[in-house]
């Protein structure tokens, strides 16, 4: 469970003398049945195990990204022109602004390599004349999000070009999405380990998630959504470390700031983090002062980052109400958003997307993962005792599965005045909270064997797509 190798002190990486696992591991209940009322640190974490997990997840994501890059060498399906243009500007040390138009380099990628558009590849010679982008003629919209992802990815491209100067900027940026995927999966495994779940079973679940369609469409193309799983996992990990007294309450300030630092839509992650604090504190029968302080720290960090970003950024001039995909607020629209996380009756969800061509094996694997997430949620709720980790995780997952879509819809109406289309990537920020129960029971043989087999099934499906 703890792996081998040295452990680092602080932030949940230290072995804790009071943990009974060191003396009587056979007497411990499963992680999901463990008590929350004892707030001392629960699970020691091996740095060597985390490093190995990161390497495996990185190799897996690089393989998937290489495959998609070879098949679809051009722009991706999610706001492709805007985000590629923002990355091109970041390579010149510039952030995107409202007055920007699509530049020559991005237009050249479209003209020479085509675009993956709504699940279909548009080859350059087949694109309609009206879809040919002339440099300077099309407004760029990436300014609505902070430039953090673009600057960090640009730094990665420039570092890679120090070794291989001829590397293509766009292709390299897409391949670097594998790093975002690996870090996000690593944080999920770290989260599981501090709740006393063995590293490798947890890694099987993280790998399964990494090859799901929604994860792949986020990390195999140029988009700030590449960091969404990372941000989601970081917030829940931060809340867990705070509860275990591994970090103080004020450490949640930078965790909260991390949410909107990558994408303004990620503010819903802060709301889920606040819900997790409330649920864990109620189930663990904590007093009110420290949970209130932790909640204020988390929301304060999000609010501070939002204010700083809005003071620096240009006012949003894009008219959302003119977009044909948006709609006025309605009960029917909220109903669609309510069902989007699970994807009931639809081909989009937290795990599925219709933006990528994919084999039936990939779809079946994603459906199975969603079913396993629901089963794990019910399993931990029903079979966990009062005051247990499982009970808290089950409640948090229910909130994420039922509330992420509605919360995002309400926030989008408040921000834009219209209801944005109910697509999977907008509810993906709730993924760490929804998958938490599955991580807690990952040590069960039927769970990690299913996860391993389904990951291989997904890989086969991507090869056959």
- pLDDT, tens digit, 9 for 90 and up, residues 328-352: 888 999 999 999 999 988 899 999 9
Mean pLDDT of 416-420: 88
For 139, list phi and psi in degrees, rounded to 5: -65, 145
Q: What is the pLDDT of residue 336?
A: 93
Nearest to 9 by CA among 247, 256, 220, 263: 247
Q: What is the pLDDT of residue 353?
A: 95
Contact 411, 267 (CB under 8 A): yes
Enter the DSSP assignment of 129.
G
Residues in the chain: 465
- pLDDT score of 25 more than 50: no
Enumerate the H helices of 167-250 as residue ranges. Answer: 169-175, 177-194, 199-210, 213-219, 228-243
- pLDDT score of 270 more than 80: yes
Interior/surface letters 220-234, b for 16+ CB within 10 angstroms, e for the rest: bbbbbbbbbbbbbbb
Q: Of 151 and 314, which is predicted with more confidence? A: 151
Strand partners, 35: 388
Contacts (Cβ under 8 Å, ≥6 apart) of 203: 53, 56, 57, 185, 189
Which stretch of 126-130, 206-210, 317-321, 419-423 has the lowest confidence by average pLDDT?
A: 126-130
> What is the model's pTM?
0.92
- pLDDT score of 134 more than 90: no
Mean per-residue pLDDT over the chain, rounded: 90
List pLDDT tens digits, range 98-119. 999 999 999 999 989 999 987 7
Report the C-alpha dihedral over residues 25, 28, 31, 32, rounded to 10 degrees: 160
Contact 236, 436 (CB under 8 A): yes
Q: Provide the 3-class DSSP secondary structure of residue 36.
A: coil
Q: What is the pLDDT of residue 1?
A: 38
- pLDDT score of 5 more than 60: no
Distance CA 287, CA 237 (A): 21
Alpha-carbon distances, residue 193 vs 43, 48, 59, 349 (angstroms) = 6, 13, 21, 27
Alpha-carbon distances, residue 297 vs 264, 359, 396 (angstroms) = 18, 44, 19
Q: What is the pLDDT of residue 2?
A: 39
Distance CA 312, CA 314 (A): 7
């Amino acid at each position: 469970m703890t792996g081998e190798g040295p452990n680092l002190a602080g932030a949940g990486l230290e072995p804790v003398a009071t943990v009974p696992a060191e003396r009587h591991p056979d007497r411990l209940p499963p992680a999901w049945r463990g008590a929350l009322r004892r707030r001392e640190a629960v699970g020691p974490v091996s740095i060597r195990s985390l490093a190995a997990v990161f390497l495996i997840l990185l190799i897996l994501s690089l393989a998937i990204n290489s495959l998609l890059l070879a098949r679809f060498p051009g722009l991706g399906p999610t706001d492709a022109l805007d985000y590629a243009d923002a990355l091109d500007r970041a390579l010149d040390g510039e952030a995107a602004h409202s007055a920007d138009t699509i530049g020559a380099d991005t237009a050249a990628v479209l003209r020479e390599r085509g675009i993956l558009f709504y699940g279909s590849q548009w080859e350059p010679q087949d694109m309609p004349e009206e879809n040919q982008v002339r440099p300077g003629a099309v407004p760029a919209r990436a300014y609505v999000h902070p430039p953090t992802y673009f600057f960090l990815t640009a730094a990665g491209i420039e570092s890679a070009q120090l070794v291989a100067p001829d590397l293509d900027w766009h292709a390299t940026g897409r391949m670097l999405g594998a790093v975002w995927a690996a870090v996000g999966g690593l944080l999920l495994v770290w989260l599981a380990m501090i709740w006393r779940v063995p590293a490798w079973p947890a890694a099987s679940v993280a790998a399964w998630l990494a090859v799901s369609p929604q994860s792949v469409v986020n990390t195999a193309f140029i988009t700030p959504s590449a960091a969404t799983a990372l941000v989601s996992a970081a917030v829940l990990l931060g809340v867990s470390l705070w509860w275990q007294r591994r970090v103080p309450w004020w450490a949640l300030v930078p965790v909260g700031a991390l949410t909107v630092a990558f994408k303004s839509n990620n503010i819903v992650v802060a709301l889920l983090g606040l819900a997790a604090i409330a649920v864990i504190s109620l189930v663990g029968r904590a007093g009110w002062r420290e949970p209130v302080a932790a909640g204020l720290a988390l929301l304060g960090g999000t609010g501070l980052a939002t204010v700083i970003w809005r003071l620096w950024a240009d006012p949003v001039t894009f008219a959302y109400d003119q977009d044909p995909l948006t709609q006025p607020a309605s009960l029917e629209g909220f109903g669609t958003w309510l069902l989007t996380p699970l994807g009931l009756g639809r081909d989009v969800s937290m795990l599925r997307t219709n933006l990528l061509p994919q084999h039936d094996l990939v779809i079946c694997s994603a459906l199975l993962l969603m079913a396993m997430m629901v089963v794990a949620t019910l399993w931990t709720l029903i079979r966990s005792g009062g005051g247990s980790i499982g009970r808290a995780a089950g409640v948090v997952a229910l909130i994420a599965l039922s509330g992420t879509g509605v919360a995002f819809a309400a926030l989008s109406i408040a921000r834009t005045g219209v209801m944005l289309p109910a697509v999977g990537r907008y509810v993906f920020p709730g993924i760490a909270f929804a998958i938490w129960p599955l991580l807690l029971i990952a040590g069960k043989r039927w769970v990690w064997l299913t996860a391993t087999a389904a990951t291989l099934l997904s890989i086969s499906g991507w090869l056959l797509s």
